[in-house]
Chain A
Amino acid sequence: MSEPLEINVWPGSYGAAAKPRMGFFTDTSICIGCKACEVACKEWNQIPASPQQGFTGHSYDNTVDLGADTWRHVAFIEQRKPVGLDSAGGSLVDAAALHQLIDETGLGTYQEGDGLRWLMASDVCKHCTNAACLEVCPTGALFRTEFDTVVVQEDVCNGCGYCVPACPFGVLDQREEDGRVWKCTLCYDRLKDDKEPACAQACPTNSIQFGELTDLRERADRRLNKLTEAGAEHAQLYLAGDEDGIGGAGAFFLLLDEPEVYGLPPDPVDTTDDLGSIWGAAGIAAAALAGGLLAAFARGRP
């Protein structure tokens, strides 16, 4: 894996070797929360079992989040009704506590009112067009592949951990045993063998769809329109265009509620956009320091 070390730009750096951009379209409206993606991913990539979390009480999610040992994570959200921007929500348990659901009659169940729904969604590294993790990686361990995906070279990573807080989605994490960071590779090794990533292949209901990004985006548009027509008013495509703060993503989602309900940021940005002001401020501060030093001597001799 030493060859593509300095490559950050796709397709330019790859020239003729560049492949079409590949990605995931995760359609959460047909996710059944089986977690086959989590397991298939761990089996193929030989990821150790996560540190024992125990029972979390987060509905059926005992994986909690993405991390070094979880490259796919299925979220479970129990809702009384779609949350939306202007209505209360959160988990049912919170809601139950908040609203004192136990009324005098003893019954306040969806038998009367319905509206119960259970959202499930498989999260993954987004393989951003503008990937902060890759930008901040000082060693070049993170690189952009010929498929326009973002991958960590495990033989280069020195575990500086910079990418961990840099990622606007909290995808990467350090593995305690070996100190390096790990994340979804979009099964780079399988892609090179013309095979589908393990999670997408396993997914029983095709909630995780793999393919060329342009195709996936078209498919997603059709799906969104269909759902919207069917009355799914909060259905939305997340990271499906180029106009967002990360320039679009290789892995994008069809959500049935606002992103934050799934633990996703509503307006993620690649902080590299602000690089000018960051370095500018550092430069000004350095100059101020110089000024301070000079000032300390300018008062004359002691």
Chain B
Amino acid sequence: MVRSICPYCAVGCGQKVFVKDERVVQIEGDRDSPISRGRLCPKGAASAGYVNSPLREQKVKYRPPHGTEWQELELETAMDMIAERVIGTREESWEDVNGDGQPLRRTLGFAVLGGATLDSEENYLIKKFFSAAGAVSIENQARI
């Protein structure tokens, strides 16, 4: 059993995740939590169904420009291609200074969106790295 937190809303209910043979078999409320006292809403109660959903994708999918179907792609290859895209777009769209000669040191060529379902540690690395890369359009569900 592993202690976890519900991935849906921001109440932050405690969850207990039961694992058997490297598979999540049951997720239920954590009675120790002062927030939820072991209770869960329908979404929280469906968490095991969510992590085990048959609709979950497990492989990278790739669609080339103008392609009509998904193609397979190795994860390593995909990561490498994405790195190339980021570097290339950044290079093309780099803005060093504005019209007044003030520093900008940025790119608006690519944007990043997401994070409200991600962990804080993940958001931290995303903000840190993409800011260092000069990206400014880093946005989040929190805007919505």
Contact = CB atoms under 8 A, between A and B. Distances in A.
B35 to A, nearest CB: 11
Interface string B31-71: 10000001111111110110000000000000000000000
Contact of B44 (A36, A38, A206): A36
- Majority secondary structure of chain A interface residues (helix, strand, loop or mixed): helix
A40 B43 CA distance: 9
A201 B42 contact: no
A: interface residue count bin: 10 to 19
Interface string B12-41: 000000000000001111010000001111
A137 interface: no
B46 A39 contact: yes
A21 B17 CA distance: 30
Contacts of B46: 39, 43
Nearest to B47: A43
A40 to B, nearest CB: 4
Given A39-B46, A43-B46, A43-B48, A204 B28 contact: no
- Majority secondary structure of chain B interface residues (helix, strand, loop or mixed): mixed
Contacts of B45: 36, 39-40, 43, 198, 202
Q: Which 3 A-B pairs have the closest CB atoms?
A: A40-B45, A39-B45, A39-B42
Interface string B105-129: 0000000000000000000000000
Contact of B49 (A43, A198, A203): A43
Contacts of B31: 201
10 contacts: A34-B42, A38-B42, A43-B48, A43-B49, A44-B28, A198-B45, A201-B39, A202-B44, A204-B40, A206-B39
A203 to B, nearest CB: 6
Nearest to A41: B45
Contacts of A202: 28-29, 39-41, 44-45
Contact of A36 (B26, B27, B42, B49): B42
